[in-house]
Chain A
Amino acid sequence: MLATLGMQSEEDLIAYLPPAVRFNSRLSMEDGKSEFEIVDYFKERAERNANGYASFLGAGVYNHYRPVLVDAIVSRGEFLTSYTPYQAEISQGILAAIFEFQTMVCQLTGMEVANASMYDGSSAVPEAAMMAVRVTHRDRILIARAVHPEYREVLGTYTHRQHIPVEELAYEKNGRLDLDDLKAKLDDHTAAVIVQSPNFFGLIEQIDELSHIVHGKGALLVVVFTEAVALGLIEPPRHADIVVGELQSFAISPSYGGPFAGIIATHEKFIRQIPGRLAGETTDASGHRAFCLTLATREQHIRREKATSNICTNQALLALMATVFMSLYGKQGMRELAEQNLAKAHYLADKLPLAFDAPFFNEFVARTNGKSPEQINAALLDRKIIGGLPLARFYPELENCVLLCATEMSRRQDMDTLAQAFAKQ
C-alpha cells in the first residue's frame, strides 16, 4: 500500500503534520502493566468523577431519567450500525423510525413539518435564521438576550461570515423579553426575531403577544427551546414560523456536552426552505406503504452552493433515543413528567429569594444575598451536591445570581440542603 502511494514508511503518511502538534514523549503510565492492571488504573481515576452527586444544573443540558428500554432498542444492530438510508429498499426500518420522529416533533411543537434532526439545539438556531433570510429576502436578525448565551454565539459564527447583522433584544425587569425594545428595533429589514421559551432564565415568554408584533412587520418568528420536557405542559408555540430546539432531555445522556440532537420544524409552506434530511411516506411498486428520503433537491449534493444548508446528515441514533423516549412516555406520561418537574422546581424556588417575578417551568434564577455563588457551590459540593450556574459570566449585570434547575430526579433532602446553603449568612 505504501509503495502504491509512493511512500517509504508509515512515518511518511503523517509527514505533513507540523512538529508542534505531535506528541513526542511517552504515555504517563509505567511500562510492563498487564491489561487488567491498566483497566484498574483508569477505573480508580474514574472514581474521582462526581458519580451519584445530585445536580441542580440546567442551562441547556438537563438531568432527566433515561428509561432502560431506550438503550435496549437503540443498541440493536439494525439501528446501531445502519448506514444513512439513501437506499430505501434496505432501509425501511430506520426510515420508518425517522418518519415517526418527525411526526412526534410536529405533534410536540404544533408545526406541520419537521426534519430528521439537526446536530443540536445551538446549530439549529442559525439554520432557522438562514431559512428566514431566504424566505423573506431580508437580511437582519433580532435575537433576545434571554436566549442561551452559547446559542447566540453559534448564531454569530454563521451570520458573521454571511454578513448578516444581528441585534440583541433586552429583557425586562421581570426577566422576559422587553416588548418595547422589540418594537423599537423591529423594522422592514428584519428577517427573523428569535426568542427562547422557556428562556435561559427559565421563564415562559408571551409567544402569542410577541408573534403579533413580529408578524406585523412581515418578519418571521423563530421560537427556541432548550428543555424539551417543557413541551409536555406548556402551550406549543403555534404562532411561530419556525421552531428549533434541543432534545437532550429525551433520553440523551449529558455525556460531557454531547453529542445531542436538535430539531427544526415549520409550516408546510416553507417545506422547500427547511435544511437537512427529510423522510417521506410513499408507496412502493406493489402499492404498499413505504418510506424514503425526499425533497433532496434542497440539499447540497444536488443544489451545491444554492442548497438550503451545508448539513447533509442527521443525528439518527440520538433522534432514535428521543423517539423511543417519546413513545414510552406518550402524551400522558410527558404531561406527568412535566408536572413533576414543575412541582419540584417550585418547591425549591419557594425557599429561595428569586431574581425574576414571572411564570417559570423547571428553572429559575435565585439571588445569593451576601455570599458569592462560588462559595455556596463549594459548600454544596462537600455535601455531594452540584449547585446552579453563576450567571455573572454570561450576564455581568446579574452578579450574585444563580440559575437553578430541579427535575423529576431531584430529591427533597437535596433541595432542602441547597436551600439551607443559600439561607446561611
Chain B
Amino acid sequence: MYLGHRIGPAQARPGAFGLMYGLLQQQSALMAYVDVFRWTAVLALICAAATWLFKKPAKHAAPPPGAH
C-alpha cells in the first residue's frame, strides 16, 4: 500500500508531512517519558547515598507502628 498510490502523487507530500508529524510527536512523547524515568532513578540514587546519613541503629530495634 503506497501513500502515493493511495492519495495520489499530488497529495503524497502533505500526507507525508502529516505522517512525519505523528511520528515526531510519538517519539518526543517517548523521550519525555524516558527523561522522567531517568530522573526518578537519579532521585533514588541520591536516596541510596543519603542512607549513610543515618546514625548506626541500636541492635534489634523493633519496627515501629506506622511502617509502610
A binds B: no
